[in-house]
Amino acid sequence: MAISNALWPFALVVGLLTLTPGLDTALILRTSAVGRRRRAWGVVLGIQSGTLLWGVLTSLGVTALFTASHLAYVTLRWVGAAYLVWMGARMLRDTFRGLPATGTDDSALLSGTDSFVGGWRQGALTNLLNPKMGAFYVAVLPQFIPAGTSHFTMGLLLASVHILIGLMWSAVLVGFARVLHGWLRKPQARRLLDRITGTVIAAFGIRLALGD
């Protein structure tokens, strides 16, 4: 009974967080909309792999040590911010130069070949290089662990709820993106989407860098 009483409020909190438009939404929509379905699901599962790892580390108490270290937090924040700004800037640069966003390495994380592994790597890096995910789990997860339950087991259960909600919402986003695919056959539409997505990604990176 105590476990179910904790699961539903936690599901509500992370559900609202998941539905809030943000970086994950932009990445999934853009990758799916340009027809990279395998890469899009790689991005989805990469993001959820990062969520699972944050849940495991929080349940083990590791992230509490991480957030207590100001140097570690700031270092990861700047690395994550630089990664996002770089990724967004490359997308914007290619649209203004009239180049297709293609490639075989990290320059093709948002387009290029339809690679599941490449998408997974991009999603996982984006999630794990965001220290605010760790701070969120440290601040929120313990509040939903009932007294007398296994901290590790309950933490994994709560993280699994977060992942399940994320997967369901991602399926909706991937399905919706298929509607945009025909429109994106037009080069002007493709450039517009790339500019919007690149701006969103770079803005998240700048916001992360300037955050407290």
Give the percent of the chain with pLDDT over 70: 82
Positions in the chain whose pLDDT score sits under 70: 1-2, 63-68, 98-113, 181, 183-186, 211-212
Rounded Cα distance, 139 and 102, in Å? 39
Rounded Cα distance, 156 and 59, in Å? 7
* Amino acid, res. 18: T
Domain ranges of the chain: 2-13+21-210
Non-local CB neighbours of 154 within 8 Å, separated by 6+ positions: 3, 6, 59, 144, 145, 146
**pLDDT value, residue 115:** 84
